Amino acid sequence: MSHPPFAVTVDLVLMTIADGALSALMQRRAEEPFTGYSALPGGFVGVDEGLDDAARRVLTDKAGLAGGDSAWLEQLFTFGDPQRDPRMRIVSVAYFALFPHAVLAEAVLSRPDLRLTTVSNLGEPLAFDHAAIIAAAHGRLKGKLDYSPIAFALLPELFTLRDLQAVHEAISGTKINKPAFRRRMLGTNWIEPTGQRESDTPFRPAELYRKSAHVADWRAD
């Protein structure tokens, strides 16, 4: 009883913006328990493996995401209810990671067991306590949106202010005033104009921005 055995896992909430909505990558389970249910990608932590290392490994192996090194990855919360897994006592350290839409879209196309689901409307019951994990991820993301440059992790390298505003609206669930949003963002020093413009628009093309170099490795919990 002095130090009973546990299994420790990581579960990953991989998010992006798809069709204007915050979405998460789900994996269809092939084994018991919860066979056929959608679940978050996850895996057991190795005895000599750090928690962040395990999360990055699951990112590349289980979800087939090459860009695992550069993605925004952040520990979220640890779920340890004794009944959360019917097989044994498992403590799961949940992470969330953010990607541009193209990265997750490609993963979904190449892997039939993966799909994207809308975070605010899951549409089906999930395996284990994964619905609660997703809710926690959404909450954290919403909370950090205003004071951290977290939204850029959901966009490609070049983006317009309209793209950025769409990300903010999808996460916060509110409409934002366009001129106010513009000036607020331009006042943060988080973005810099490239001089380039988008193309193939049936209207005036917007300027393309990129995330400023000095916020590239920004964090803060």
Partner DNA sequence: GCAAAAGTGTTGTGATTACACCCATGT
Partner DNA sequence: ACATGGGTGTAATCACAACACTTTTGC
> Which residues would be at the binding site for its own copies (CB under 8 A)?
1-8, 44-51, 75, 77-78, 80-82, 88-91, 93, 136, 139-140, 143, 220-221
Q: How far is the CB of 163 from DNA (least distance, A)?
A: 8
139 binds, among its own copies, DNA, none (CB under 5 to 8 A by kind): its own copies
34: exposed, middle or buried (C-beta count within 10 Å: 0-12, 13-18, 19+)? middle
Residues 157-176, interacting with DNA (CB under 7 A): 160-162, 176
Cβ atoms of 127 and 32 within 8 Å: the answer is no
Cβ atoms of 176 and 169 within 8 Å: the answer is yes
Selection from 28, 34, 11, 36 nearest residue 115 by Cα? 28
| Interface stretch with DNA, choices 71-79, 94-102, 134-142, 155-163 (CB under 7 A) | 155-163
Letter for the amino acid at 204?
Answer: R
Residue 217 is classified by DSSP as T
Selection from 40, 71, 180 nearest residue 168 by Cα? 180
List the one residue from 204, 217, 219, 221 that touches DNA (CB under 7 A). 204
Q: Which is nearer to its own copies, 2 or 110 (CB)?
A: 2
**Residues binding DNA (CB under 7 A):** 160-162, 176-184, 187, 197, 201-207
